């Protein structure tokens, strides 16, 4: 017996080619499925996410509120920094007009005129939640995360607060609020 009598398993170039073909086709099929169903993956906060953020179906329902105050028109433009790391409304942080705070009283009607002045996709909504992108109040959204505004597109939205408190207007595309697209509505 010599040290070379042991069986050494090797493969042929044909078998390596078949393996690579199987791996590549699996990646391609997975990519096609992911992008074909892309709106499904980001369309709604998961039940676990709703539980984490404390969002209920009542938060999403449109309240029946009667306007008793004045009309307040607000124009908001979605913008991004050149490196897309900072997102904001109207102006970047440190510039005048960045994410303006809106002060109103109960019963005032805020009329949002929204324009996507950026180069990315965005959507708009008003929420009570101080973090996350869920719990958008009914009737306040412009577009949605699974059907966002493209660059140059816009829309209008109305919000009549029924009780005092702090509300937030945000970009409802997941992650955009955390990157700076959030403003405050203070209702007295």
Residue 40 has a pLDDT of: 55
**Is 12 within the bounds of a domain?**
no
Sign of CA dihedral 114, 101, 66, 134: positive
Sign of CA dihedral 15, 16, 17, 20: positive
The pTM (predicted TM-score) of the whole model is: 0.66
**Is 43 within the bounds of a domain?**
no
Residue 95 has a pLDDT of: 93
Residue 69 has a pLDDT of: 81
Residue 134 has a pLDDT of: 77
Residue 132 has a pLDDT of: 81
- What strands, in cross-sheet order, belong to the sheet with 165-171? 102-104, 182-187, 165-171, 124-127
CATH of residue 98's domain is 2.60.40.420
Residue 160 has a pLDDT of: 92
In DSSP terms, 158 is beta-bridged to: 111
CB atoms within 10 A of CB 157: 21
**Is 171 within the bounds of a domain?**
yes
Q: Quote the DSSP letter at residue 101.
A: -
Q: Give residue-wise pLDDT tens across range 169-183.
A: 999 998 899 999 999
**Is 37 within the bounds of a domain?**
no
Number of independent structural domains in the chain: 1
**Is 158 within the bounds of a domain?**
yes
**Is 62 within the bounds of a domain?**
yes
CB atoms within 10 A of CB 135: 23
Where the chain has pLDDT below 70, the residues are 1-4, 8-9, 38-66
Q: How far apart are CA 25 and CA 143, in angstroms?
A: 35
Contacts of 74 (CB under 8 A, 6+ apart): 100, 102, 110, 111, 112, 113
**Is 103 within the bounds of a domain?**
yes
**Is 73 within the bounds of a domain?**
yes
Residue 165 near residue 62, CB atoms below 8 Å = no
Residue 169 has a pLDDT of: 96
Domain containing residue 177: 50-187
Residue 101 has a pLDDT of: 95
């Amino acid at each position: 017996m010599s040290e070379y009598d042991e069986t050494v398993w090797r493969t042929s170039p044909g078998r390596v080619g078949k393996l690579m073909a199987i791996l590549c086709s699996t990646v391609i099929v997975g990519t096609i499925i992911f992008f074909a169903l892309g709106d499904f993956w980001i369309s709604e906060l998961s039940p676990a996410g709703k539980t984490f953020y404390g969002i209920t179906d009542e938060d999403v329902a449109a309240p029946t509120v009667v306007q008793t105050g004045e009309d307040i028109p607000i124009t908001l433009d979605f913008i991004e920094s050149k490196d897309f790391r900072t997102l904001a409304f109207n102006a970047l942080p440190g510039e005048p007009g960045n994410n303006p705070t809106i002060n109103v009283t109960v019963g005032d009607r805020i009329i949002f005129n929204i324009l996507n002045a950026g180069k990315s996709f965005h959507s708009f909504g008003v929420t009570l939640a101080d973090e996350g992108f869920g719990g958008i109040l009914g009737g306040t959204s412009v577009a949605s995360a699974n059907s966002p505004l493209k660059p140059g597109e816009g829309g209008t939205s109305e919000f009549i607060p029924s009780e005092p408190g702090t509300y937030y207007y945000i970009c409802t595309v997941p992650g955009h609020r955390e990157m700076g697209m959030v403003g405050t509505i203070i209702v007295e």
